[in-house]
Amino acid sequence: MVKEVNNTSVMDNCGFVLDSGASDHLINDESLYTDSVEVVPPLKIAVAKQGEFIYATKRGIVRLRNDHEITLEDVLFCKEAAGNLMSVKRLQEAGMSIEFDKSGVTISKNGLMVVKNSENQLADIFTKPLPAARFVELRDKLGLLQDDQSNAE
State whether 94 and 148 are in the same domain: no
State whether 99 and 145 are in the same domain: no
State whether 133 and 110 are in the same domain: no
> Is residue 142 very low, low, confident or very high in pLDDT (cuts 50, 70, 90)?
low
State whether 93 and 142 are in the same domain: no
pTM: 0.65
Q: Report whether pLDDT(11) > 50.
A: no
What is the reported pLDDT for 44?
A: 94
* Active-site hit among 12, 19, 29, 101: 19
What is the reported pLDDT for 102?
A: 72
Mean pLDDT of 10-20: 61
> Is residue 78 very low, low, confident or very high in pLDDT (cuts 50, 70, 90)?
very high
What is the percent of the chain with per-residue pLDDT over 70, rounded to a whole number? 61
What's the rounded Cα separation, in Å, for the pair 96 and 121?
20
Contact yes or no for 104/127 (Cβ under 8 A):
no
Give the count of domains, the chain: 2
H or E, element range at 97 = strand 96-101
State whether 149 and 76 are in the same domain: no
Q: Report whether pLDDT(153) > 80.
A: no
State whether 18 and 41 are in the same domain: yes
What is the reported pLDDT for 16?
A: 78
State whether 114 and 126 are in the same domain: no
Which CATH number goes with the domain that contains 61?
Answer: 2.40.70
| Choice between 7 and 59, residue whose per-residue pLDDT is larger | 59
State whether 105 and 134 are in the same domain: no
Q: Report whether pLDDT(59) > 90.
A: yes
Give the mean pLDDT of the chain: 73
> Is residue 3 very low, low, confident or very high in pLDDT (cuts 50, 70, 90)?
very low
State whether 96 and 149 are in the same domain: no
If phi > 0 it is left, if psi is from -120 to 50 it is alpha, else beta; for residue 13 that is left
Instruction: Collect all residues with Cβ–Cβ distance below 8 Å to 56 and sequence separation of at least 6.
Output: 26, 39, 42, 43, 45, 76, 77, 78
- Is residue 124 among the annotated active site residues? no
State whether 49 and 112 are in the same domain: yes
Query: Which residues span the domain enclosing 145?
Result: 122-153
State whether 91 and 127 are in the same domain: no
State whether 75 and 46 are in the same domain: yes
What is the reported pLDDT for 6?
A: 29
What is the reported pLDDT for 94?
A: 84
Contact yes or no for 23/87 (Cβ under 8 A):
yes
